[in-house]
Every structure is written in structure tokens, then in C-alpha cells.
Amino acid sequence: MPTPHLPAPIALHQPQQLTTLIENRTVYSLEAFELNVFETHRTAHRVPLSMGHVVLTTMLRGKKVMHLPGRPAFEYLPGESVVVGEEETMVIDFPEADEVHPTQCLAVAIPTHTIRQTVDLLNEEYPRAEAHLPWHLDVHDYAHFQNTPELTGTLERLVQLSRDTGRIKDVLATFTIQEMLVRLMQTQARQLLFRNYTQHAASHRFAAVVQYIKQHLTEQITVEKLSELACMSKATFFRVFKRELGLTPVEYIIQERLTEAKRLLRNPLATVAEVCFRAGFNNTAYFQKLFKQYAGVTPGLYKKQYAAG
């Protein structure tokens, strides 16, 4: 897995500052959204929480187990986010929370009209590659996901704006919440294609592109070939792919090759140099630089850590 993308740390409350040990709530209310910071300092189970709006929650510390209507329970960990519908009640377990290891979570409550305006703007001005799949915010099928760097950066700015005392913070907050919604929908679009590309290969041009990349990962892959598969000009393909998925085709190829490199490094007999070339890279120095950027450690250290674990 990639290194979790976490917003900048938010200081925990001291015990004497807490009004409750379970889901202690700090609220920042702006015109465009409401930001909540929840802390839990004691083990608890089946704690209900409803926000009255569509909510993007992001885990910062600790572990929860989430129970959402119509879905199996799942572990919720730092670096992950969950979208919850406005009529949904979260039921939450805190199996490991205590004074030394509390949980901490962001929850951004977003008004319905803000979501509608953003979605309408995207569909009118920046339509997706396939007309039968317009922009929308999914609160069910792709509502639990790993954060992307772009989404994490936007969440950090929302936190900063919430604590700001400047006169124009509400103006900036309106633009930033719209950006967050775009990043969120791009993240969900990635899930749709990257996880289920075989199901959509015949009906979505980018799914066919993803399938080709996965099948030819160790070969030379050109943007010209990918744009041909998408039935677009090179410039249009590059622009629309990034707009819809939040990363360029080249960035996606690198991401997939690094994921394959991590898999190969788990083989105790494989050397770093062998893994470099087998994963589709042709320069070991470049590979090592990218791997550390992606995984947080060098390939050699990752290999040692995996063997020790």
C-alpha cells in the first residue's frame, strides 16, 4: 500500500479540556461548511452519530470500526476517508481508544446546495469523457477510500481556513470546499476505474486505457498509444484524463509500476536492481528516488522491513 496521506496534525485536547471522553467535538462553523474535530479517549461501542448533511470524514489517529446502513462493518484507519449521506447515521466502535492512544477524526459537513452547484458546474463546463457517467458525488458504492495527496492538501486548507480570523475567510472557504468536492469526485472516479476496469473496458475509454497499462506495465507505454485507445487527440486525452481522475497518465503508470515493485521486493531472492527493471523502470537511481517518494523508505529498506515483519 502507498504511504497514508494524512493532513497536518491537529493538537489533541488535554484531559481537563474535554467535555466527554467519547467523541468530544470541536466545531468551526463557516458559511460554506462546518468543520468538526472529534476525539475519543476511551473504548466504546455502537456510538451513533448523525450530522444532518452529507459529510466527508477523515481519520487522523487511532482506529474505528464503522457501521453504515446496508454495508458490512469495516475498519477505519488514518489516511482513509468516508463519505456519509445526509440521512445516514454512523454507528461507530472504538475498540482500542484510551488516554494514551485516542482516536481523532475530521468531519466536514457540506450543504446540499454547495454539492449541487459544484456538480452542475462540472457537468456543464467540464463534462466527463463518457456522457453516460456524469459527475456526481457517490455516498454508497465508492464512499470509503485511501486519501490522495490532492484531497489531503485541500483538507489541510479547510482546517487552516476554519481557524483563520481574516475578513475574507468565508470567500476563500467557498472556493476551497468546491475544490475539495472536485478532488473527492476525482478520487471516486479513480476507484471506479482502477478497481473495476475489466467491467467497464467496453463502455469507458479510460477503463480500456487502464487495462492496457496493466497488461503492458513492463513495456514502453506511450501517451500516443493511450490516446489512440481513448479515441482522442494526445492533448485532449492528457487534459481530460487528468481532469477526470486527478493525475496524469504518466503519473498513473509510475504509480502502478511502483506498486508492482513493492510486490516484487517481497521476494527474498530478488535484488533491488532486478526489481527496478522487472517493474518497468530503466534507471535504478530514478527508481530509488521515486520509490522513496511513494513509500517513504528506500527499496532496500522496504525489503528489509518486509523480511523482518
Give the pLDDT mean for 197-226.
92
Which pLDDT value is given to residue 5? 85
User: Which residue stretches of 67-202 are H helix?
Assistant: 112-125, 149-163, 169-200
Parts of the chain belonging to CATH 2.60.120.280: 1-197
| 178-203 tens-digit pLDDT | 999 999 999 999 998 998 898 888 88
DSSP string of 193-228, one letter each residue: HHHHHHHHTTT-HHHHHHHHHHHTTTS---HHHHHH
In percent, how much of the chain has pLDDT > 70?
A: 99
| 83-138 tens-digit pLDDT | 999 989 999 999 999 999 999 999 999 999 999 999 999 999 999 999 888 999 99
> Do the beta carbons of residue 265 and residue 302 sit within 8 Å?
yes
For the chain, the average pLDDT equals 93
Which pLDDT value is given to residue 192? 87
201-309 placed in CATH 1.10.10.60: yes
Q: Which residues of 39-50 are buried (b: 16+ CB within 10 A; e: fewer)?
A: bbbeebeeeebe
Q: Would you call 86 helix, strand, or coil by DSSP? A: coil
Helix (H) or strand (E) run with residue 60 in it: strand 54-61
Helix (H) or strand (E) run with residue 36 in it: strand 34-40
Which pLDDT value is given to residue 15? 87
Beta bridge partners of 80: 146
Closest CA to 176 of 60, 9, 35, 3: 35
Q: Please tell me the distance from the alpha carbon of residue 100 to that of residue 93, in angstroms, as a whole number.
A: 17
Give the pLDDT mean for 270-279.
95
Which pLDDT value is given to residue 1? 45
Domain at 1-197, CATH homologous superfamily: Regulatory protein AraC (2.60.120.280)
> Do the beta carbons of residue 244 and residue 230 sit within 8 Å?
no
pTM value surpassing 0.95: no
- Does the pLDDT at position 3 exceed 70? no
- Does the pLDDT at position 248 exceed 50? yes
Q: Please tell me the distance from the alpha carbon of residue 217 to that of residue 280, in angstroms, as a whole number.
A: 6
Binning pLDDT at 50, 70 and 90, where does residue 301 land? very high
* Residue whose grid cell is 492496457: 212
Which pLDDT value is given to residue 309? 67
